[in-house]
Amino acid sequence: MIGKDPTLYLSSEGGGIPQKDKEALTDEQAERLIDEVRGLSIYTFVMLGLYAGLR
């Protein structure tokens, strides 16, 4: 167990780099991606990412 809060001196204001808005793949892009990775070792991970809505 941690004896004290490691975020004690952090603030939620400012700092960091603003994130860019991200867009989900279109159905056509997803189908093309699936076609390209079919038979490769990363196929399962790509399918998991698409199924879970990951980008």
In a domain, 32, yes or no: yes
d(CA 48, CA 34): 11
> How many domains in the chain?
1
Tokens 């793949």, residue located: 25
Within-domain flag for 29: yes
> Regarding predicted confidence, which is higher, 8 or 26?
26
- C-beta of residue 33 within 8 angstroms of C-beta of residue 50: yes
**Tens digits of residue pLDDT in 38-55:** 999 999 999 999 999 886
9 pLDDT above the threshold of 70: yes
Q: What is the mean pLDDT of residues 10-24?
A: 77
Q: Tell whether 53 is covered by a domain.
A: yes
Is 13 a domain residue?
no
